[in-house]
Each structure stands twice: as structure tokens, then as C-alpha cells.
Amino acid sequence: MINEQLIIAGFGGQGVMLMGQLLSFAATNKDINTLWFPSYGPETRGGTANCSVTISEESVNSPVISKPDSLIIMNKPSLAKFQDKLKKDGCLFINTSLVKDVPIRDGVNVYKIPANDIASKLGNPKVANMVMMGAYLAVTKVFSQEDIIEVLKEKFVGEKASLIGINQEALNEGAKAVTL
């Protein structure tokens, strides 16, 4: 049974909010309860941004997550801010392209993914978030890559439809980064 509480954190422009929303859309497609809640300052690009996502086959209560099961960290300040909240034995996904030389706490499962480097190699640095998503899905198996691609197909229509291919590649590369 799915009962997942996740916090995704980074800076504005990294696609942090979108990642969370994709998971919530995938949950809704499967008629699973979900709640997405954003938190950001008045800044946009460059400011801190994070979102909480709950995916549960039971009813969703608190919109704020105090002890997440998983944490996706896209930049350095976010690691310091959130890593102590993570549940014991929780999953910590770190974008090591931007988070280097930072002490990481004990008692959690750490997955290091150089997401920006992988995305740049794919030819579009913007898909770093989807690389992280690929890693997250491969480890937690909350949803399959196909579930996420289905959402992208619903959202990316017209000109944007051409972006689905690179997003699929990013998901694959992210999965490889944690399984190989």
C-alpha cells in the first residue's frame, strides 16, 4: 500500500514544484489520495523553493509534513534545512552536481545523483529535475516511469509535446544512476 510523504527542495527555476505536481497528477490518475503544498518566499527564480507531497491510499490529513519518508535535495542550502527532518531509514536523494562537500547525516539511505551533469550530457540542463525523479521512482517505486510520462503527455501538448522524449531519457538516466 502506498503511503508516501515527500519533500522536494531547491531553488526557484529548478522545477521543484513541477516534480511534486507530476507525482500528485499521477496519483490522481490512479484515484489515489494526494496533497501537494508549495512553500516559497516572495522571490521567484533563485529564491528558495520547496514542496510537500503526500500520496496515500488512506485519507490525507496534515498538509504539512514534519517527518518525510523521502527527501529530494536539489541544492546545498536545502540539504542543511531539511535533512534532519527525514525519517530514520528514509531515502535521501541528493543532486551532487550542486551539493558538494556537505556533511550528510547517518541513519538514512543516501542516493547521490549528479543530476545537472547528467542533464547537460543529455543536451538540456533543465531536465535535471526529471533525472532526480527517475532516481526517486527507481528506488521508491511509488509510481512507474510510464505513470509520469502519461501525465507529461496530458500536460505537454502542442509544441511542448516534443519535450517528452528528453524527459523520458532523463528519467531513464536518473534510474540508471541509482541502480547501476
Query: What is the pattern of x (binds other proteins, CB under 8 A) and - over residues 65-104?
Result: -x--------------------------------------
Cβ within 8 Å of residue 25, ≥6 positions away: 151, 154, 155
Using CB under 8 A, which residues numbered 33 to 62 contact other proteins? 33-38, 42, 60-62
Size of the site for other proteins (CB under 8 A): 19
Task: Compute the least distance from the CB of residue 71 to other proteins, in Å.
Answer: 16
Task: Compute the least distance from the CB of residue 20 to other proteins, in Å.
Answer: 9
Beta bridge partners of 5: 54
- Nearer to other proteins (CB atom), residue 38 or residue 110: 38
Residue 95 · residue 26 · CB < 8 Å: no
Stretch that binds other proteins, among 20-28, 76-84, 125-133, 139-147 (CB under 8 A): 20-28
Q: How many CB atoms lie within 10 A of CB 22?
A: 24
What's the length of the chain?
180
Angle at 124 between CA 122 and CA 127, to 5 degrees: 90
Q: Which of 4, 8, 21, 98 binds other proteins (CB under 8 A)?
A: 21
CA distance linking residue 48 with residue 175, whole number of Å: 26
- Nearer to other proteins (CB atom), residue 43 or residue 102: 43
User: What count of Cα atoms within 13 Å lies in the side-chain half-sphere of residue 139?
Assistant: 24
Q: Applying CB under 8 A, which residues contact other proteins?
A: 21, 24-25, 27-28, 31, 33-38, 42, 60-64, 66
